[in-house]
């Protein structure tokens, strides 16, 4: 079942690449006591994700932070090395935290998995964005397949 506004983010361990290597980070560390914009996408280095989705958040990050957001998080069912390399290639710097859900546990727990096994990509995340305040989902915008209309940075910025 898909997570809904008003529900708490599940307690799980995710991963991210730092200067010291791959580190675990709990959802509590990411979300508790903070206002977070999380956007998720089917895969690092994929066309729409690389050309529009992630770059939009990088470009709009100052405006998003000015609305009281503590952190912007990009999540994908990729490993932390891939997410780290993609973040470097996209020049995210400290604007967007690149989080790896390599096994898809978070994606499954929030009910937003997307079966791309027929296309050779395995189980992936749907494209979506959410605003999370102190671990509770306030807004959830899920994209229709092959679209980028409601989870983009402009739409989320207008919702803050």
Per-residue pLDDT tens digits for 81-106 = 999 999 999 999 999 999 999 999 99
Q: Which residue did the predictor score with more confidence, 131 or 44? A: 131
Q: Which residue did the predictor score with more confidence, 50 or 31? A: 31
The yes-or-no verdict on residue 31 having pLDDT over 90 is yes
Identify the pLDDT of residue 86: 96
CA distance 10 to 136: 10
Which of 42-51, 104-113, 149-158 is least confident? 42-51
pLDDT per residue over 104-135, tens digit each? Answer: 999 999 999 986 767 767 578 999 999 999 99
Q: Please name which of 77, 35, 72, 31 lies closest in space to residue 55, comparing C-alpha atoms.
A: 72
Please provide the average confidence, as pLDDT, over all residues in the chain.
94
CA distance 83 to 29: 19
Question: 35 with 70: CB under 8 angstroms?
Answer: yes
The yes-or-no verdict on residue 157 having pLDDT over 80 is yes
Task: Look at the domain 13-159 and name its fold.
Answer: Glutaredoxin (3.40.30)
Identify the pLDDT of residue 122: 59
pLDDT per residue over 48-61, tens digit each? Answer: 888 899 999 999 99
Identify the pLDDT of residue 120: 63
- Each domain of the chain, given as residue ranges in start order, spans 13-159
Which residues are part of the catalytic machinery?
Answer: 49
β-sheet with 13-18: strand ranges across: 21-26, 13-18, 97-100, 71-76, 35-41, 128-133, 136-142
CA distance 93 to 150: 25
pLDDT bucket at 64, cuts 50 / 70 / 90:
very high
Which of 61-65, 114-118, 142-146 is least confident? 114-118
CA distance 55 to 51: 7
């Amino acid at each position: 079942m898909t997570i809904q506004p008003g529900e708490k983010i599940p307690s799980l361990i995710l991963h991210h690449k730092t200067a010291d290597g791959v580190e675990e980070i709990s959802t509590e560390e990411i979300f508790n006591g903070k206002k977070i914009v999380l956007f998720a996408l089917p895969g690092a280095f994929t066309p729409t994700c690389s050309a529009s989705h992630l770059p939009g958040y990088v470009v709009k990050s100052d405006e998003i932070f000015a609305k009281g957001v503590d952190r912007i998080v990009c999540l994908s069912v990729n490993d932390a090395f891939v997410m780290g390399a993609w973040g470097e290639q996209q020049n995210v710097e400290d604007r967007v935290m690149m989080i790896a859900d390599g096994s898809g546990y978070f994606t499954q727990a929030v009910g937003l998995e997307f079966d791309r096994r027929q296309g050779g990509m395995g189980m992936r995340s749907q494209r979506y964005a959410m605003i999370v305040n102190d671990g509770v989902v306030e807004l959830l915008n899920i994209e229709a397949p092959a679209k980028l209309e409601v989870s983009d940075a402009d739409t989320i910025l207008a919702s803050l």
